[in-house]
Structure 1
């Protein structure tokens, strides 16, 4: 990556939002007046925005500081999100209150008091009363230090699936492809689905789960995660076997060999595309990731294929992203149809057919296609 200010190569980024890259404190200070407008100083502010947008948090700091990293069973993250939605949207809790409770390590107690004082109850609150531990001992996110403690906690889940050799190998010595598999196993063993920014979301087929809204997208992705749970937990698929399939792009074959025919038929019926490690994939799925996420980066292929290179201002780019997000959430949308329109150089026509009332600039949707035969 490159520094947002001087464009020098760097791997350092804002510890709060994890989105902007800086080569050092000097460049970070130069960009402060601009970046502070889009980077809330507290995780509570970001959580409030996530709740209002009905999106489970993806920022590491928010997830760590407000209990999402402590959710290890299937559906627990959604239930915790439901608890916060009730607290914020219905009871009216502010970001300042949340931050104060979190800072004093009284978040769980004050949430109970807020619900009880308001006389409001819900299935999410009933779940919370039995699972208060998810909000116990919350600490400030400290980047690599916090990530390391979580990694140690989650690596214990992997031991039954590791070979004797891999158990002895330091994590840093494991190749990138196998580290990806480790991370995916932890996600599945914790009962979760990959978040949209994860490479697993692209590589392992979640990006191709067709949807018309967030809840439907999540239900389709949950069904795919359940299939992986069958493979890993019920069938006991070891990491080495999964890794071999991941490298060769043959995960679908692995699923068909080991899992029930009904679940595998669902894969075909829903046209789920599972590519594996460094296998080619349609740029439309990177577009979907960029449009639906608040922090996913704009990939070069998306920049060229879907018109972002035609935008002369950041505001214009933001408007184009909004149009694609609206398109993707429309019931008639199918990413494969948009891919075909892209290759034919007819994105504008396709978008107009799905969003006939949307004001569109045809020149923004131009791309180099169709390519001339050589």
Structure 2
């Protein structure tokens, strides 16, 4: 906890006086990461840390450090864009780049504050070389980097659609050209409808060997939300199996973007998978209750609940707010407690998404949660909803 606190212990200031979030004293000092919470002293900031750390958005450097400590190639687009992964042409190069960061963080001892400072000043590449050389530490990853410094050149802040469209035009478009129609090859990416841009983004994810991250619209639209959490592959073995099925459809069977896009709009991706990949794979979909809704088609609020509970940054949807009791919470602390309970529930082996959905419709969420988490201190008032 103390290491995490160092990320936000510095204050920025402004001329007007505000109230300390803890003791209500006048102050012009605030959290330097989120710029939202005000504190009069480090003592008050420390007291509020257990609550604030849940709301304070992570910088890309913080997420990168977490990925490196877990030996994971980053999937969050802001991290990939700001720390060079989008400049890698092959997955093998991305593996070498995360290896470089792992050595920098685990062996040399650099932290998120240093990485963020280097990135912000545009000196990331120079400081990485200095850190490795000062420690006299060499590795195959560092030797690879010395020949591929270009991956850390021209790094800028990620700005949602603006940055993504740039990547599509300059870097990624070549990876999906094989799957685009002749007509689409002649027009700029930003002229595609939103639904087709979603499909292109999904193709890139699958072609480069990844699966959608939980915050992505693809996670909901393309069925990953209905995969069961388990103890393998950081809880994502079913998601990886589903990703492999899409990879077979796209890479091995050569499904074109137009064909996939049509199925995406009509909600018939399951039928497309069965037709292209055979019934055995699709039997797995039905046996494991994988639901693929497609673009803007109705979906059960329980899947948005899973997204909100398992993610640190997903937005609470109005349907989840009402259906799953968050509307009953009087304070932010109670909302955090309820979110924690649902996260714990979803990660329990006995949990079934469909069972929670049915309990919601029957007005028996409390009974279901209690049956899975009998030792958890639960308030029945939290779980009331307008049903049945």
TM-score (norm 2): 0.74
Give the structure 2 partner of residue 149 of structure 1.
166
| Offset from partner CA, 1:109-134 (integer Å, 9 cap, x none) | 367558964x9xxxxx7677657749
Seen in structure 2, the aligned counterparts of structure 1 residues 302 and 83 have a Cα distance that, compared at 3 Å, is farther
Q: CA RMSD, aligned part only?
A: 3.3
Match of 1:97 among 114, 117, 136: 114
2:72 is the alignment partner of 1:69: no
Give the structure 1 partner of residue 153 of structure 2.
137
2:204 is the alignment partner of 1:186: yes
Seen in structure 2, the aligned counterparts of structure 1 residues 217 and 127 have a Cα distance that, compared at 3 Å, is farther
2:296 is the alignment partner of 1:278: yes
Give the structure 2 partner of residue 296 of structure 1.
314
Cα contact 1:75–1:191 (8 A) shared by 2: no
Seen in structure 2, the aligned counterparts of structure 1 residues 344 and 217 have a Cα distance that, compared at 3 Å, is same
1:210-249 equivalences in 2 (<5 Å): 210-213=228-231, 215-249=233-267
Give the structure 2 partner of residue 259 of structure 1.
277
Seen in structure 2, the aligned counterparts of structure 1 residues 274 and 97 have a Cα distance that, compared at 3 Å, is same
Seen in structure 2, the aligned counterparts of structure 1 residues 332 and 190 have a Cα distance that, compared at 3 Å, is same
TM-score (norm 1): 0.77
Cα contact 1:87–1:115 (8 A) shared by 2: no
2:37 is the alignment partner of 1:34: yes
Seen in structure 2, the aligned counterparts of structure 1 residues 341 and 83 have a Cα distance that, compared at 3 Å, is farther
In structure 2, how many angstroms separate the alpha carbons of the residues matched to 1:111 and 1:223?
40
SS across alignment from 2:351 = coil
The structure with more radius of gyration = 2
In structure 1, how many angstroms separate the alpha carbons of the residues matched to 2:299 and 2:107?
42
1:167, distance to aligned residue in structure 2 (A): 2.1
2:60 is the alignment partner of 1:43: yes
Give the structure 1 partner of residue 9 of structure 2.
none
Highest relative contact order (Cα 8 Å, sep 6+), 1 or 2? 1
1:236, distance to aligned residue in structure 2 (A): 1.0
| Offset from partner CA, 1:20-48 (integer Å, 9 cap, x none) | xxxxxxxxxxx944399755695324434
In structure 1, how many angstroms separate the alpha carbons of the residues matched to 2:362 and 2:219?
27
Cα contact 2:91–2:209 (8 A) shared by 1: yes
Seen in structure 2, the aligned counterparts of structure 1 residues 189 and 341 have a Cα distance that, compared at 3 Å, is same
Cα contact 1:212–1:333 (8 A) shared by 2: no
| Offset from partner CA, 1:149-202 (integer Å, 9 cap, x none) | 212121222222112222223334322222221221121122221111111111
1:49-60 equivalences in 2 (<5 Å): 60=77
